[in-house]
Amino acid sequence: MPSILFVCSANQCRSPMAEALFKSILEEAGVLLNWRVASAGTWAYEGVQATYLARQVMRERGLDIEGHRSQPVSGELLAEFDLVLVMEASHRDYLQGHFPLVSNRVHLISEIDDREIDIADPVTGTAATYRATVKQLLIYFELGFNRILEWVVKLS
């Protein structure tokens, strides 16, 4: 079963939104049940709910992340996934440095489009800031869906 882990800092905004968005894309493609999709944070505390604005913006899109609870990244968790997509170069550098056995599985999301662009943390922003983050994620997922599939197949 192909698997993908989305990683941000606290696992309360970007990565749970990315998880929900990617699951919805897989569902539309009719293959969600064949995938494992999750999220975590490099500096996350265990069990914290997604931020209010993340939940609100996902609700606007018909996606429910009310049950999301944060989880920290660990070597054991990373080993369970074929592909790890991170929001910032600092996340990639941290994971590759601390978990070298899985470093080849870790990619910055913008690498989908052969770029090195961080997805900014919307945590201190407005609903519009969160919506902009969602739009940015969706652009990468839509542009790079086939590339994500290639990475997963190559790494699994």
Q: Name 43's Cβ contacts closer than 8 Å, sequence gap at least 6.
A: 9, 10, 72
**Given 14, 55, 92, 105, the catalytic residue:** 14
**Given 8, 13, 55, 105, the catalytic residue:** 8
Q: Quick: pLDDT tens for 20-62.
A: 999 999 999 888 788 999 999 999 999 999 999 999 999 999 9
**Given 61, 69, 118, 121, the catalytic residue:** 121
Class of domain 3-155: alpha beta
Q: So where are the chain's domains?
A: 3-155
Return the SS3 of 60. helix
pTM, to two decimals: 0.96
Over residues 89-97, the mean pLDDT reads: 97
Asked whether the beta carbons of 25 and 101 are under 8 A apart, the reply is no
Asked whether the beta carbons of 81 and 4 are under 8 A apart, the reply is yes
Please tell me the predicted confidence (pLDDT) of residue 33. Answer: 83
CA distance 104 to 152: 11
Selection from 87, 136, 137 nearest residue 107 by Cα: 87
Is 14 tagged catalytic?
yes
